[in-house]
Amino acid sequence: MYPLAAQWIVGLLRDRHIPFQICGGLAAKGYGADRALNDIDLFVPDEHFMTVVQAGQAHISKPAAHYCEEGWDLTYVQFKYEDIKVEVGNAAGAHILDAASQTWVPLDIAFDRYETVNLLGLALPLMLKEDLIRYKSMLSRPVDIDDVRALKSEIKMQASVYDKCGDPTVLRYADVPDPELGAFDVLIEVQAISIEGGDLINRQMTPPPRVDYIVGYAAAGVVVALGSGVSTRKVGDRVTSFGLDGSHATLRAIPESQTWLVPDGVDIAEAAVLPISFGTAHHCLFARGALQSGETVLIQAGAGGVGIAAIQLAKRMGAIVITVSSGSERLAKLTSLGADYVIDHQREDVVKAVFEYTQGRGVDLAIDPVGSTLQTSLQSLAPEGRLVFVGNAGGGELTVDLWPALQANHSLFGVFMGTQFGYPNVAATVDRMLDDVANANLKVLIDRRFPLEKAVDAHEYAERGKPFGRVVMHP
């Protein structure tokens, strides 16, 4: 009888062009839960609710009214068609009880966010799986707990792994065990992975500590499970994350303290890129480099993720920005991001150009994520200038002659961000910059996107394709 009841209510709604969203047990069944149905639950917008009530008047078994029952606080009407209960809720003002905190949480239903699934002989708009998991997790009733377990079991973990270091071809796509969830961890269903310079260096030079090792620092997605001690995140949250490994996978377990909430309006791929690129640039420029308005900064590798971020951040501080890259098209893009002077290192002497642009003085600060350009960066400094070196994207030995730096009273600062994101001030800076992206005050640039199973190609391109910005993978 369920197909007949579904055809009746769906026909009633679609004949009147009323948007709706299937929730409850029917939605869970649509996503793979093996469960018996008790009724058909759905929501409609407030402005259409009374139209539905009037159109289905002949089949009303429970009048339209405000009810507070079984963890729900909402206005709904119950119909009975061929002995099947059909409950239509008014999305406006609907609340659900979070059993863990005993607080009422507003039900946030966006009728333009759904997944269409063929069910009961109809193409039905279902509440998104992550939203369904979140609400059913709150209720904590036995039937909902079973649904959540079933929905989560549908998520299988794959990853790009390697057993020995080397070129990109050491990576392979494989089924792997689900990550273990610690008490203060969140489990993320990964939607975007940013390939970082450290990922490439680790894969190339660092022997993996175990077989099927999952490399990768940065990934973003949706929280699908919580450790028992988690207090600042909830199932359904969009988050971005940083860790020393584990990003190249469809699932990631990571401490809640190493995640940031993704604001509305920020693309999930942008969110994956931002913490390391922009967090590193901000830390180098201001926490270590102490950049001030009116000073001149040299940014090596301006077309890389850190470089693109550093140009924007330095410019809005009021600094004079000189950056280095190659090719007229790339240099023009860097100028559009805020660079005052651009240097093509393939055609120009970088040190000579820096002193021309600074009237023979040199720069107050140099930011160097390359490593192999450290000597050039040091030679570009003004007396008492500062050099911040971060990473070794060039892959060579970090060898420099420090005698001239000593004579010029230069200051050198090394930065490894792996130990810095745990500091509250650094984490808060990432939160603020995510808001800046949401408000279009900063730009995250993504050069190319690859599926996760093509990690070999993605790493190859990130290493040799001269990307402008970051390379992102999607499971």
Candidates 377, 394, 375, 397; CA nearest to 385 is 377
CATH number for the domain spanning 314: value is 3.40.50.720
How far, in Å, CA of 358 to CA of 203, rounded?
40
How many structural domains does the chain have?
3
Identify the H or E element spanning 366. strand 363-368
Answer yes or no: do 62 and 105 share one domain: yes
- Note the pTM of the prediction, 2 decimals: 0.71
Structure token digits, residue 153: 């079991």
Do 256 and 282 share a domain, yes or no?
Answer: no
Name the percent of the chain lying above pLDDT 90: 78
Domain range spanning residue 216?
Answer: 158-262+456-474
What CATH number is given to the structural domain containing 23?
3.30.460.40
- Residue pLDDT, tens place only, 120-154: 889 999 999 888 888 888 887 777 777 777 776 66
Do 291 and 398 lie in one domain? The reply is: yes
Q: Are 224 and 253 contained in the same domain?
A: yes
Q: Does the residue 322 lie in any domain?
A: yes
Do the domain assignments include residue 163?
Answer: yes
The tens digit of pLDDT for each residue in 302-320 reads 999 999 999 999 999 999 9
Contact call for residues 266 and 295 (beta carbons, < 8 A): no
Domain match, 170 and 47 both: no
User: In the chain, what is the greatest distance between 2 CA atoms, to the nearest angstrom?
Assistant: 93
Helix 268-282, helix 305-317: angle, nearest 10: 60
Structural domain includes residue 145: no
Displacement of CA 161 from its chain's centroid (Å):
21
Mean pLDDT of 39-54: 96
**Confidence band (pLDDT; 50, 70, 90) for 431?**
very high
Between the alpha carbon of residue 66 and those of residues 38, 69, 78, 338, 475, the distances in Å are 21, 10, 12, 56, 43
| 151 phi and psi angles, rounded to 5 deg | -65, -40
Q: Exposed (0-12), middle (13-18) or buried (19+): which is 372, by Cβ within 10 Å?
A: middle
Classify residue 402 by burial, with Cβ atoms within 10 Å: 0-12, 13-18, 19+. exposed
Q: Are 164 and 104 members of one domain?
A: no
Does residue 438 form part of some domain? no
The residue-averaged pLDDT of 284-291 equals 96
The pLDDT of residue 418 is 86
Residue 138 carries which side chain, given as an amino acid letter? M
Q: What's the pLDDT tens digit per position in 360-397?
A: 999 999 999 988 889 999 999 999 999 999 977 656 66
Separation CA 444–CA 237 (nearest Å): 21
Judge whether 90 and 75 are in contact, CB under 8 Å: yes
